[in-house]
Homo-oligomer: A and B are copies of this chain.
Amino acid sequence: MKKNNAFLDMESQIKKLGYRMTKPRQMVFKVLTKTTEHLLAKEIYLDIQKKHPDIGLTTIYRTLEILAKIGLINKFCIGDGQSRYELGWDFKEHHHHMICRNCGKIIDYKDFINEEITFFNRIEKFLSKNYKFAISNHEVFFYGTCDSCK
């Protein structure tokens, strides 16, 4: 997690790919650097609204799409029809998610990650070859019931 130069990385990444650096893009990225949550587009929008009421929800969506395409952020879904966003893999330690089927709470965990990486590297190599599939990343979800919902 190289948080110090996250913004520099972001700016150079954005410009390198021909995109322009604008306030909405800075803000969306900034919101995601300041939380460990997995935010909805609307939540990011509402947060930004507080200080920048001039930035619209449409722009948030367009920005999230670009940032996700570049890989600066991760987009994922837990099955409720909404997309959630978190900081990209380059800025956050490798981790996975536990999801409560009842309240939708998401818990990050990083336990066993080293073992997991070793194991998945082996699988990836095999799958890539056997299914002629170029694997870029993987995700693990555990589903169940969280403590307060039991």
Contacts and interface: CB of A to CB of B under 8 A. Distances in A.
Number of copies of this kind of chain in the complex: 2
A7 interface: no
Interface string A78-107: 010101000000000000001011000001
B139 A141 contact: yes
A138 interface: yes
A83 B79 CA distance: 7
A101 B132 CA distance: 14
Interface residues of A, number: 41
Contact of A111 (B119, B130, B134, B139): B130
A138 to B, nearest CB: 5
Interface string A108-138: 0101100110010011101110111111111
A131 B115 CA distance: 19
